[in-house]
Amino acid sequence: MKKTISIFLVLLFFMFTACGQKQIKTPNKAMEKFEKFKAKEKFVEDMKILYPGIGDEKLKPILTEKINLAAEDFEKIAQNGNATDEDYQNAIGKGLDRFKSIYLEIDTEDRERVCAYFEELMDIVGLESSDGQLNNFMYGLDPTN
């Protein structure tokens, strides 16, 4: 009887831990899209999204490096094959944290562009939400609270 209860509890534990993390299947061509994303020039004028280009040219290589590091984080998670929503949420948080030291130097349009780049990364892996992290980065508030 004790053995049956132990087995039941172990199975119950695994069921709850498995249900708590939404698996995200890496889409076809995701790795190719990550490489294209990292290779493209960033913070250039893009009137499709009404972005005038970087406000301070000296920040361009710094911001580009930070965005590309975030892309590498996403790519590593996607290569794992067992990616969860939580893994990508952690990568978003880690990526946005890289901007803390220069946050006040980044103007509003460039912060919006940073968020748009993160949205592109999310689209590559099929992640639907940043759980308010991009909004918090942009405006300093979390809509989930």
Domain parsing of the chain, residue ranges: 23-139
Q: What is the pLDDT of residues 90-144, one digit of tens each?
A: 999 999 999 999 999 999 999 999 999 999 999 999 999 999 999 999 998 554 5
Instruction: Give residue 28's pLDDT.
Output: 85
Q: What is the pLDDT of residues 17-54, one digit of tens each?
A: 444 568 888 888 999 999 999 999 999 999 999 999 99
- Give the single-character DSSP code of 27: P
3-state helix, strand, coil in the chain (%, to 5): 65, 5, 30
Among residues 34, 24, 37, 29, the alpha carbon closest in space to that of 81 is found at 24
State phi, psi for 9 to the nearest 5 degrees.
-65, -40
The residues that bridge with 23 in the sheet, in sequence order, are 84
Cβ atoms of residues 76 and 95 within 8 Å:
no
Can you read off the two tokens belonging to residue 137? Answer: 């980065």
Fold classification of 23-139 (topology level): hypothetical protein mp506/mpn330, domain 1 (1.20.1480)
pTM, 2 dp: 0.82
